[in-house]
A and B are shown apart, each in its own frame.
Chain A
Amino acid sequence: MGLKIIVLAKQVPDTRNVGKDAMKADGTVNRAALPAIFNPEDLNALEQALRIKDKYPGSTVTLLTMGPGRAADVIREGLFRGADDGVLLTDRAFAGSDTLATSYAISCAVRKIKKFDLIIAGRQAIDGDTAQVGPQVAEKLGIPQVTYGEEIYSAEKGKVSMKRRLERGVETVECPMPSVVTINSSAAPCRPRNAKLVMKYKHAQTITERQNQSEDYIDLTQDRPYLNIPEWSVADIESDHEMLGLSGSPTKVKKIENVVFQAKEARHIQANDEDIEELVKELIANHTIG
């Protein structure tokens, strides 16, 4: 029997490759210069979902992302790789969300989707770096969670069986569905885009995107409804507004400092025998070594 899987995916700035061109003159990061990408571990999560879809015919994979309008890229990317559809959750009211407010908004959107067997998320996003959203969504929905997943072995008879990769070992666990699973980067990499799917979905857009486009696409979507990426705002989900955005966020950022390398006075030692010996004598004399 087919399963209904929701994959949580976040669009993030590529903080792993802060190259020279992304550095400002004062040695701090120019965040605007970082490309927006599909959060890496969310791609691992998507792959696990697609494998379930391959294994259990009739299964579907829905991507859910919360973010600004351009986060629709994440949904298109997922469609190109085999997801069936996706929802963009976007509203100014979500701005300033901490992980708790993010999880609350996501859980409200999941409730609107209604039927699902598994929610698969990445372990951690590479910008906020907290790994909190998965477990918090599970708690908000009142369902169990399995974190640090590396491989889903099976999802049948109401149970998901999977391997977890822990700091110093592995664990096999069994968990009833529906549940939330988070996936590590040590899991299988995501399959590449499929050329046919790229052809099929390259004009998939949200209504906001389409309004800024030429009219041809509006016509396209009339007989190809799959090109519509649903866009949900606060008005589309049932929620307590106090629990969204800034007001729903217990944690506040008081201060942000860019990390700048401070130069300190270093002594330069020549790499010849004499200077090295001098250094060693000095370190022995001041009890650093010996």
Chain B
Amino acid sequence: MDNIFVICEIEDGKVADVSQELLTKGRSLANQLNCKLEALALGHKLKGIEEHIFPYGADIVHVGDDKRLEPFTTLPYTSVIVDLFKREKPQIALLGATTMGRDLGPRVSSALQSGLTADCTALEIGDHEDKKAKKNYKNLLYQIRPAFGGNIVATIINPDCRPQMATVREGVMKKEVFSKSHKGEVKDVDVKSILKPEDEVVKVIERHIEKNRINIKNSSIIISGGYGMGSKENFSVLYELAEVLGGEVGASRAAVDAGFAEHDRQVGQTGVTVRPKLYIACGISGQIQHTAGMEESSMVIAINNDPGAPINKLADYVMTGDVMEIIPKLIKAYRKNTK
């Protein structure tokens, strides 16, 4: 009772990055609240799955292994989770804000009549005073999230209902191994006794999932291009710079929409959140939805021909001029100074 649960997402027998990121966050919240961190892994052929979960600090892993749980469909997952939560009574439950988590989370929260906060960018523990009801709450989960198209940031709390549920996008939290040798307890979930025939009414007829080929998230140097790059062809100078510096190419949504770059490269609120050592923004104006995904970069260089571009306000270095002239100069200078 009163523990923290992370609902893990399993892809091809592997635990998704976002789930491991949530386990890392869950571990630190559990330490703060002095409770246990539990994980839930649902799917089929999950033998050994706990090996990918314990190193991130889980004390208990609940495994529900059944062929009706692969591929993911809403109703069987909901039944198993609702059943487990009614017995275990977690205080906090976290899910990835993925297509699965955003489909499953609201259904579960509705069944449990407990609140759910979407797309949190930070989770903290704090107190709350309800002046009207003259009630003091200790150790609530502050669920911090952007809303209103990214123009505001709200702190949401859920004082009375449990679990306090939140979804978080991939890449927002940091993933860190807690201890390679950390081990906990594995508990089997008796899926057979929970699932009913009516849970299986939705049938997946066909499924085409592409592997994530491009992964800019783990790159320590990101060269991002925006609409100001002008064309897909011009993006080639960014690939060249990325290659010499050993980085990856990112993009703004306007650049992705214009077909200059693949969607997997999109940085920002509806793309990935990155926190590289160096972020070079080329021809990107710096709208809030973009900066939400890169403002934690250690160093930002902005290259823009508009000296008043908003991106300049969060840059460490501002270069004003035509990106197609500046990048080749950067490449040349780098080549000259490294051998």
**Mask of A266-290 contacts with B, CB within 8 angstroms, 1/0:** 1111110100110111011000111
Are B105 and A132 in contact, CB atoms less than 8 angstroms apart? yes
Contact of B157 among A29, A173, A251 (CB under 8 A): A251
Contact of B147 among A127, A264, A288 (CB under 8 A): A127
In Å, the complex CA distance between A270 and B321 comes to: 8
- Interface residue? A172 (CB, 8 A): yes
Pick out which of these stretches binds chain B: A64-72, A80-88, A163-171, A213-221: A163-171
In Å, the complex CA distance between A259 and B12 comes to: 39
Are B158 and A15 in contact, CB atoms less than 8 angstroms apart? no
In Å, the complex CA distance between A284 and B221 comes to: 13
Chain B binding surface SS class: mixed
Are A171 and B109 in contact, CB atoms less than 8 angstroms apart? no
Are B110 and A175 in contact, CB atoms less than 8 angstroms apart? no
**Taking A99-B106, A173-B203, A259-B150 as contacts, is the C-beta distance between A284 and B338 under 8 angstroms?**
yes
Nearest CB of chain A from residue B116's CB, rounded to whole Å = 6
Nearest CB of chain B from residue A148's CB, rounded to whole Å = 6
Contact of B152 among A29, A171, A264, A289 (CB under 8 A): A29
- Please give me the residue from chain A that is nearest to B203 by CB atom: A174
A168 proximity list for chain B (CB < 8 A): 209-212
Are A135 and B110 in contact, CB atoms less than 8 angstroms apart? yes
Contact of B110 among A103, A251, A253 (CB under 8 A): A103
Contact of B98 among A167, A250, A279 (CB under 8 A): A167
Give chain A interface residues in 118-172, CB to chain B under 8 Å: 126-136, 138-140, 144-148, 161, 166-172
Are B154 and A255 in contact, CB atoms less than 8 angstroms apart? yes
In Å, the complex CA distance between A271 and B317 comes to: 12
Query: Which of A127, A250, A259 counts the most chain B CB atoms within 10 A?
Result: A250
**Taking A168-B210, A174-B205 as contacts, is the C-beta distance between A129 and B119 under 8 angstroms?**
yes
Are B201 and A288 in contact, CB atoms less than 8 angstroms apart? no
- Please give me the residue from chain A that is nearest to B302 by CB atom: A266
Give chain B interface residues in 301-338, CB to chain A under 8 Å: 302, 310, 312-322, 325-326, 329-330, 332-334, 336-338
**Mask of B267-279 contacts with A, CB within 8 angstroms, 1/0:** 0000000000110
In Å, the complex CA distance between A132 and B103 comes to: 8
Contact of B318 among A13, A139, A269, A276 (CB under 8 A): A269
**Taking A256-B154, A269-B319 as contacts, is the C-beta distance between A290 and B338 under 8 angstroms?**
yes
Contact of A136 among B109, B316, B319 (CB under 8 A): B109
- Interface residue? A222 (CB, 8 A): no
Contact of A268 among B102, B149, B318 (CB under 8 A): B318
- Please give me the residue from chain A that is nearest to B325 by CB atom: A271
In Å, the complex CA distance between A168 and B209 comes to: 6
Nearest CB of chain B from residue A96's CB, rounded to whole Å = 13
**Taking A172-B205, A276-B326 as contacts, is the C-beta distance between A268 and B320 under 8 angstroms?**
yes
- Please give me the residue from chain A that is nearest to B170 by CB atom: A167
A126 proximity list for chain B (CB < 8 A): 149
Are B314 and A261 in contact, CB atoms less than 8 angstroms apart? yes
Contact of A100 among B99, B115, B329, B334 (CB under 8 A): B115
Are B99 and A148 in contact, CB atoms less than 8 angstroms apart? yes
Nearest CB of chain B from residue A40's CB, rounded to whole Å = 11
B230 proximity list for chain A (CB < 8 A): none
Contact of B74 among A98, A145, A288 (CB under 8 A): A145
- Interface residue? A223 (CB, 8 A): no
- Please give me the residue from chain A that is nearest to B211 by CB atom: A168
In Å, the complex CA distance between A215 and B286 comes to: 52
Query: Which of A174, A263, A283 counts the most chain B CB atoms within 10 A?
Result: A283
- Interface residue? A212 (CB, 8 A): no
A173 proximity list for chain B (CB < 8 A): 202-205
Are B107 and A139 in contact, CB atoms less than 8 angstroms apart? yes
- Interface residue? A92 (CB, 8 A): no
Are B313 and A262 in contact, CB atoms less than 8 angstroms apart? yes
Are B98 and A174 in contact, CB atoms less than 8 angstroms apart? no
Are B107 and A129 in contact, CB atoms less than 8 angstroms apart? no
**Taking A129-B147, A168-B209 as contacts, is the C-beta distance between A254 and B74 under 8 angstroms?**
no
- Interface residue? A59 (CB, 8 A): no
Are B110 and A139 in contact, CB atoms less than 8 angstroms apart? yes
Contact of B117 among A145, A251, A262 (CB under 8 A): A251
- Interface residue? B123 (CB, 8 A): no
- Interface residue? A26 (CB, 8 A): no
- Interface residue? A31 (CB, 8 A): yes
Nearest CB of chain A from residue B254's CB, rounded to whole Å = 12
Nearest CB of chain B from residue A130's CB, rounded to whole Å = 4
Nearest CB of chain A from residue B112's CB, rounded to whole Å = 10
Are A271 and B107 in contact, CB atoms less than 8 angstroms apart? no
Nearest 6 interchain pairs by C-beta: A15-B149, A250-B115, A271-B321, A251-B115, A169-B209, A132-B106
A–B complex contacts, Cβ < 8 Å, 23 sampled = A99-B116, A129-B148, A131-B102, A132-B106, A139-B111, A144-B75, A144-B201, A147-B102, A147-B103, A161-B205, A169-B210, A170-B207, A172-B204, A175-B202, A176-B202, A250-B160, A254-B128, A259-B150, A262-B314, A267-B316, A267-B317, A276-B330, A280-B337
